[in-house]
């Protein structure tokens, strides 16, 4: 497993934990539509949990713009590489 | 005195000039003076300028929600066609981004003018129009300047007609109840199309001449701490929130990373969905270290049909609570005080009626019941609405002379009102109202589900401080009802997609079941209450094969 895979697995674990969902349900293509309980309010908690876990801060404008978990991961990777 | 956000601050004098400038635009656009103006605009002062400009022109104005960025805009607008046919608005006031979509989807009915809400410039805002005529028109007490629409997008959406008389009476009475003064500073993220965002957080402070700080709802949801920072920066004193927002703040905001103090706050007022004592405790524990005053957490019971407030707790002391036996309350409708235990429930008072309003609790046959007995909350008020716009039958069902039947369940205890929840199929999620029947009609269009064989209800989620929206639906193919199947996953996603695209909300739980799972009456009608009980019972059972 590569470091990138590790980071992706951590991201999925953080999101799953915040939503009380099974981590196995998450992959790069997963969207809010796939997961019960993932709505605009819980999404804010997800964002904050991800920011805490990776010590990053997303731009306010991008928070609701991620197409899927993979897109969020790309952004996490960019912010943690900085 | 000023109105605005961190992005733009204007004085009341400037606000008035801009309102007159908008009125001039509506005159130039030949908008019928006595028609309805529907506003689909983003949050902010410009939206309020167009709203009051429409009223100053002579229109009845109504804020409407726009689709969220992730909703399918065409689907959203198309679902409004029936509503437009009933309202026949004189003007649709909107942004350039929405205009073409609305035209394409047939919202521009006969005699309706599309007005693009271009920003108001300093040159526009000279206030050259006849100010006295506009002021007199805006304040005539017998006018009906406001239509406050309920949630939803289909024909079920109801427009609550409010007169100036009702609005001004409400503002006067409610100001007394919360000891409001022009020195108060009101901070809000609530959307203007919501009665709490419009009446409590915009109309009332404007009429009282208070300072108003408006935040964008989307920004607040994403960054809840911004509300507390705005309160701190502007020395806010008043803030209205639905119950879920207290939990969202307490759960999401890390005070160690927040540069804010709440010591200026007179009241955070919990309103628009059932209020929970546990929520207040969490909020107080989280924010006491940054100066939240002990008396700041308060409760209001309000609805658009009474302009806004019906009851309010005293801002002088924490609200009353009563701990009662859960079974007696839910099964017998009786309030029996009990010690704290798993069999008891702590309830939060909604306070006493504001001046000019009285509340009675009625039995199923419409007779008043004694204190401590649960029944329907019936309201007599000097700020009642004038009816639902072009819906005489719905008006007659709810408005009986000076009495309004709320369809809320509650009781009186020690002279104060306690509100428990809804009697009908209204599901309140995060302060927004949804008719279960409307959501069920969306499900009827999902391929793979049996039309008419589904049920939607609310289930209280104590952690989130609001109701979860639950969907149970029968599938056409039996194999799609097996949770591990691809069919199940795909169909569940279709259900979530369809509901979100139409109503802008995701259900918290979707359960797909085989034909015959849903309980029906002998006449074949699906019973919402019994099916909700069955769902909750199954959920509480351990999964088969597990210890």
CATH of the domain at B43: 3.40.50.980
Say how many domains are in chain B.
3
**One domain for residues B25 and B112:** yes
> Could you give the 3-state DSSP secondary structure of residue B137?
helix
**One domain for residues B416 and B433:** no
B506 and A64 within 8 Å at the Cβ level: the answer is no
**One domain for residues B230 and B250:** yes
Say whether residue B11 is in contact with chain A using an 8 A CB cutoff. Answer: no
Restricting to A residues 15-74, those with a Cβ less than 8 Å away from any Cβ of B are: 32-34, 36-45, 47-48, 60, 63-65
User: Is B134 a member of any domain?
Assistant: yes
CA angle B384/B277/B289 to nearest 5° reads 115
To test the contact with chain A by mutation, choose from B68, B463, B506 the residue with the greatest count of A C-beta atoms within 10 A, namely: B506
Average pLDDT for B521-541: 84
pLDDT of residue B5: 57
Average pLDDT for B231-258: 92
Name the residue of chain B whose CA is nearest to A61's CA: B219
Q: How far apart are CA B267 and CA B241, in angstroms?
A: 10
Instruction: For domain A3-81, give the CATH superfamily.
Output: ACP-like (1.10.1200.10)
**One domain for residues B54 and B116:** yes
**One domain for residues B128 and B253:** no
Per domain, the residue ranges of chain A are 3-81
Size of interface A-B (CB pairs under 8 A): 53
Name the residue of chain A whose CA is nearest to B511's CA: A36
Range from B245-254, B319-328, B462-471 that averages highest in pLDDT? B319-328
Burial class (CB in 10 A: 0-12, 13-18, 19+), B534: middle
**B137 pLDDT exceeds 90?**
no
Q: In this predicted model, what pLDDT tens digit does every residue of B280-307 receive, in sequence order?
A: 999 999 999 999 999 999 999 999 999 9
Average pLDDT for B463-484: 91
Both tokens of residue B250?
């307490």
**One domain for residues B67 and B85:** yes
User: Is B147 a member of any domain?
Assistant: no
Cross-chain CB nearest to A41 (options B68, B244, B492): B244
Say whether residue B86 is in contact with chain A using an 8 A CB cutoff. Answer: no
Mean pLDDT of chain A: 89
Which of A67-71, B147-151, B370-374 has the weakest average pLDDT?
B147-151
Domain that includes residue B521, residue range: 426-540
ipTM above 0.85, yes or no: no
pLDDT-above-90 percentage for chain B: 67
pLDDT-above-70 percentage for chain B: 96
Q: With cut-offs at 50, 70 and 90, classify the pLDDT of residue B545.
A: very low
Q: Which of B124, B139, B154 is the last residue of a domain?
A: B139
Q: How far apart are CA B3 and CA B185, in angstroms?
A: 10
User: Is B546 a member of any domain?
Assistant: no
Q: How far apart are CA B318 and CA B336, in angstroms?
A: 22
**One domain for residues B467 and B367:** no
Extract the runs of DSSP E, i.e. beta strands, from B196-318: 211-214, 238-241, 267-270, 297-302, 309-312
pLDDT of residue B2: 58
A37 and B508 within 8 Å at the Cβ level: the answer is yes
Q: With cut-offs at 50, 70 and 90, classify the pLDDT of residue B542.
A: low
Neighbours of A79 (CB within 10 A): 16
User: Is B2 a member of any domain?
Assistant: no
Q: How far is B530 from chain A (nearest CA, A)?
A: 23
Identify any residues that bridge with B10 across adjacent strands, giving them in sequence order. Answer: B3
pLDDT of residue B219: 86
* DSSP, res B331: I
Angle between helices B486-503 and B436-443 (to 10 degrees): 130
pLDDT of residue A37: 84
Helix locations, B361-503, DSSP H? 392-398, 436-443, 486-503
Q: Which of B390, B423, B456 is the last residue of a domain?
A: B423
pLDDT of residue B259: 87
Residue located via tokens 């639905």: B242
Q: What is the DSSP string of B510-536?
A: EEEE-TT-S-B-TTS-B-HHHHHHHHH
Name the residue of chain A whose CA is nearest to B489's CA: A34
Q: How far apart are CA B50 and CA B87, in angstroms?
A: 19
B69 and A32 within 8 Å at the Cβ level: the answer is no
Say whether residue B462 is in contact with chain A using an 8 A CB cutoff. Answer: no
Q: How far is B29 from chain A (nearest CA, A)?
A: 34
Average pLDDT for B66-90: 89
**One domain for residues B37 and B181:** no
Q: Of B334, B335, B333, whose CA–CA distance to B322 is shortest?
A: B335
CATH of the domain at B442: 3.30.300.30
CA angle B527/B533/B536 to nearest 5° reads 135
Name the residue of chain B whose CA is nearest to A35's CA: B493
B224 and A44 within 8 Å at the Cβ level: the answer is yes
Neighbours of B77 (CB within 10 A): 23
Q: With cut-offs at 50, 70 and 90, classify the pLDDT of residue B150.
A: confident
User: Is B22 a member of any domain?
Assistant: yes
User: Is B270 a member of any domain?
Assistant: yes
């Amino acid at each position: 497993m590569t470091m990138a895979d590790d980071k992706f697995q951590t991201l999925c674990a953080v999101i799953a934990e915040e939503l009380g969902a099974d981590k196995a349900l998450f992959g790069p293509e997963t969207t809010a539509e796939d997961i019960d309980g993932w709505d605009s309010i819980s999404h804010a908690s997800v964002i904050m949990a991800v920011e805490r876990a990776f010590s990053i801060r997303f731009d306010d404008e991008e928070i609701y713009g991620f197409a899927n978990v993979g897109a969020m991961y790309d952004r996490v990777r960019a912010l943690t590489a900085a | 005195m000023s109105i605005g956000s961190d992005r733009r601050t204007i004085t009341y004098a400037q606000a008035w000039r801009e309102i007159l400038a908008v009125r001039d635009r509506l005159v130039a656009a030949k908008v019928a003076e006595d028609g309805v103006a529907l506003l689909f605009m983003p949050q902010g002062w410009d939206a309020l300028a167009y709203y009051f400009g429409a009223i100053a022109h002579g229109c009845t104005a109504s804020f409407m929600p726009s689709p969220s960025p992730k909703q399918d805009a065409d689907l959203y607008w198309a679902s409004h066609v029936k509503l437009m046919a009933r309202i026949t608005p004189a003007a649709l006031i909107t942004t350039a981004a929405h205009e073409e979509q609305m035209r394409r989807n047939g919202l521009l009915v006969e005699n309706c003018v599309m007005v693009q809400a271009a920003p108001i410039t300093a040159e526009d805002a000279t206030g050259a129009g006849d100010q006295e005529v506009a002021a007199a028109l805006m304040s005539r007490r017998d006018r009906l300047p406001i239509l406050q629409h309920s949630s939803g997008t289909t024909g079920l959406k109801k427009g609550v007609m409010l007169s100036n008389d009702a609005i001004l009476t409400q503002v006067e009475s409610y100001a007394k109840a919360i000891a409001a003064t022009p020195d108060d500073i009101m901070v809000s993220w609530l959307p203007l199309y919501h009665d709490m965002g419009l009446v409590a957080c915009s109309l009332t402070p404007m009429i009282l001449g208070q300072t108003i700080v408006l935040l964008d709802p989307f920004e607040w949801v994403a960054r809840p701490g911004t509300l507390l920072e705005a309160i701190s920066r502007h020395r806010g004193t008043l803030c209205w929130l639905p119950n879920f927002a207290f939990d969202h703040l307490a759960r999401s905001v890390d005070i160690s990373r927040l540069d804010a103090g709440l010591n200026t706050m007179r009241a955070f007022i919990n309103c628009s969905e059932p209020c929970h004592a546990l929520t207040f405790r969490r909020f107080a524990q989280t924010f006491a270290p940054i100066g939240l005053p002990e008396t700041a957490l308060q409760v209001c019971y309000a609805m658009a049909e009474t302009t806004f407030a019906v009851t309010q707790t005293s801002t002088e002391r924490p609200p009353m609570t009563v701990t009662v036996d859960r079974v007696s309350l839910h099964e017998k409708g009786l309030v029996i005080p009990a010690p704290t235990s798993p069999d008891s429930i702590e309830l939060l008072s909604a306070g006493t009626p504001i001046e000019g309003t009285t509340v009675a609790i009625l039995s199923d046959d419409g007779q008043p019941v004694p204190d401590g007995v649960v029944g329907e909350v019936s309201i007599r008020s000097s700020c009642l609405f004038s009816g639902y716009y072009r819906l005489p039958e719905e008006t007659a069902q709810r408005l009986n002379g000076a009495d309004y039947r709320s369809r809320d369940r509650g009781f009186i205890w020690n002279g104060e009102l306690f509100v428990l929840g809804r009697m009908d199929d209204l599901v309140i999620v995060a302060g927004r109202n949804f008719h279960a029947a409307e959501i069920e009609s969306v499900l009827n269009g999902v391929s793979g589900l049996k039309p008419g064989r589904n049920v939607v209800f609310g289930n209280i989620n104590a952690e989130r401080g609001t109701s979860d929206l639950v969907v149970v639906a029968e599938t056409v193919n039996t194999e799609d009802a097996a949770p591990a199947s691809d069919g199940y996953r795909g169909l569940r996603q279709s259900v979530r997609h369809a509901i979100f695209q139409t109503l802008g909300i995701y259900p918290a739980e979707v359960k797909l079941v085989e034909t015959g799972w849903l309980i029906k009456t002998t006449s074949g009608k699906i019973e919402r209450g019994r099916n909700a009980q069955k769902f909750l019972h199954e959920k509480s059972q351990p999964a088969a094969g597990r210890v």
